[in-house]
Amino acid sequence: MWDSRRIRLLSACVIVLWALAQNSTPLAEAPGELVIADPVAGNLRYVPAGAFTQGSPESEPCRGGGETQFVHSLSRGLLVMETEVTRQMWAALKAVQPDLPDDPTDLSAGAGPDHPVQNVNWHEMLLFANLLSVERGLAACYYLDEGFTTLLTANNYLTSPVYCDWLADGFRLPSEGEWEYACRAGSTGAFSVEEPNYGLGTCQTGTPEPALAALDSVAWWLGNAGWGTHLAGTKAANPWNLRDVHGNVWELCWDWSETYPAGTQADYYGPETGVFRVARGNGWYAYAADYCRSAARGYFFPTERGFHVGFRLVRTWCTPPAIVTPPDSISIQPSGNGVLEVQATGDNLHFQWYQGLTGDTGTPVGTDSASYDTGPLTETTSFWVRVENECGLADSPAATVAILCPAPATPGLTVPAEADSGAEYGVSWSGASTGMVCEIQEADNPLFSNATVSFTLSASQAFQHVVGQPAFFYYRVRLRETCDGDEYISGWSGVAHVCVGCAATTPGDADGSGVLDILDALWLADYLAGNLEVLQPSDLDGDGAITPADLHLLLLLLSGDLKAGPPPSF
């Protein structure tokens, strides 16, 4: 029916398409997406890395004794055959790899070319996988030594033990955990499809009442198969577009059959030794609906054959990293922390952050995380991140963490109203912080037209001054701060006045000079404008507040229209 010349011609026609698919590194974006249509293995569907609960809950009807649940994390994505290996697939591979044994199918239980291969043992499945990998130019998975140097071939495939290179990109059997994860396709019930009629009354009979219509839609099993296998892929797919994961033929996995481990496991491949190999999915023959469950476990000797036993292959499929959202440039306050984040796709990703521009790997920072806390920064700095996995890497553009450097706020300033001659007095200010420099200016007039002394102090210091003779002084202060390599300067504070050894008693002598003159009027006007603080008696009208009325009275005094004396009463 399938002569070798026709099969070789078919293979020649599609091999170019296959090579293009291999070299293009297609990126699967969604679970169940078609990634490659292989000339032998058919449609290969994407199954992403992820974690799930393997096994069944105690409440699931007719569950098996070895199904105690545990959390299983799978770090690598897969390409999974949409259907079980068919007789046509076996013939197509044998046409180009003649060392493959003849199709072992029991023809009495399904002879069509598109029926699943059955009556095949576990060793032959591994050989089929390795020969297909060799044919495709992929790294074979099965070897006879732990160092992966002695390839499993047609000359030694019955030898034990066998070792699997899980990182190789060739074809292989799934592990038991990979099989259940792909079968469930995100579901958590007894089957990958919701079956409302499954229960204690229907789980162990081939003629359930009521009928298991949902199960029938996805599986050939005891309840609907009759005698023998059926065409592969004719039932509805599971949520990830995989067909016949329930029924038609049992599918052997890599694992030895044993009790599940406890706790959380990562990439668990079963015990190192055993007697039986695990089989999953149930077949057309003899077993009721409970064996079709996603968590149901069967087992067979590695050399055992059965007209209801077949297989499905997978490939480890590492999706290279792709940066979806690079870290954004941000601004922070001086000595503040910046948090950078990156969003990327791909399997089993690792993150390494660096300080500097993209490509500069001299200063690695942070941990293996999609976010990075810069810690306190005092100057503008750039960072970038490298996202990496087993099959590639991606570098982000550099993100800048800029320092916001607003000028310091204008400080407040106070001094004592008067001090004794020869005494030490202090000027204090508010608004300064650590790292700032305070510049103090002294003059003998409120306009600072002839400032004679400037002092520069740190924010933590106090300004103290000793004057040995009667005098009066005006003071003001401003703050300087160096931030991100630049200097920022505040505005000048208001003006403060101190009279040393010259207590003022004359009403209106606002500057405390002991002389009533036009400077007092200027002082009082500046005070009313909010520019400085009056420290000497200026409440000429005696109302308890300094107002424009006091300035008016002072001007009258200076013009001679009003005599100086005690505060008048109105």
Residues 42-86 have pLDDT tens digits of 999 999 999 999 999 999 999 999 999 999 999 899 999 999 999
Per-residue pLDDT reduced to its tens digit, 257-275: 999 999 999 999 999 999 9
Report the Cα 502 to chain-centroid distance in Å: 71
Angle (CA) 520 523 529, round 5°: 145
Beta bridge partners of 27: none
Fill in the amino acid letter for 121. Answer: N
- Annotate 385-429 with DSSP letters as a single string: EEEEETTEEEEPPPEEEEEP-PPPPPPEEE--SEE-TT-EEEEEE
Is pLDDT at 336 greater than 90 in this prediction?
no
Per-residue pLDDT reduced to its tens digit, 531-558: 665 555 666 666 767 788 777 767 776 7
Determine what percent of the chain is predicted with pLDDT higher than 90. Answer: 62
What's the pLDDT at 342?
Answer: 97
Among 83-97, 333-347, 450-464, the minimum mean pLDDT is found in 450-464
Angle (CA) 84 195 176, round 5°: 40
Distances, alpha carbon 363 to alpha carbons 46, 181, 334, 354, 465, in Å: 37, 40, 22, 6, 50
What's the pLDDT at 4?
Answer: 43
Is pLDDT at 448 greater than 90 in this prediction?
no
What's the pLDDT at 193?
Answer: 98
**Coil/strand/helix, residue 509:** coil
State the Cα–Cα distance between residues 269 and 15, nearest whole angstrom.
33
Residue 309: enclosing H or E segment and its boundaries?
Answer: strand 309-310
Longest Cα–Cα distance of the chain, Å, equals 135
Among 150-154, 165-169, 211-215, 444-448, the minimum mean pLDDT is found in 444-448
State the Cα–Cα distance between residues 459 and 478, nearest whole angstrom.
11
- Specify burial of residue 291 (Cβ count, 10 A radius: 0-12, 13-18, 19+): buried
- pLDDT band for 202, please (50, 70, 90 cuts): very high
**Coil/strand/helix, residue 27:** coil
Beta bridge partners of 401: 330, 381
What's the pLDDT at 438?
Answer: 80
Q: Please, what is the angle between helix 518-528 and helix 548-559, to 10°?
A: 170
Pair of tokens at residue 146: 């732990």
Determine what percent of the chain is predicted with pLDDT higher than 70. Answer: 78
Residue 202: enclosing H or E segment and its boundaries?
Answer: none
Number of residues written out for the chain: 570
Q: Which of 26-35, 172-181, 311-320: highest mean pLDDT?
A: 172-181
Is pLDDT at 230 greater than 60 in this prediction?
yes
Is pLDDT at 19 greater than 70 in this prediction?
no
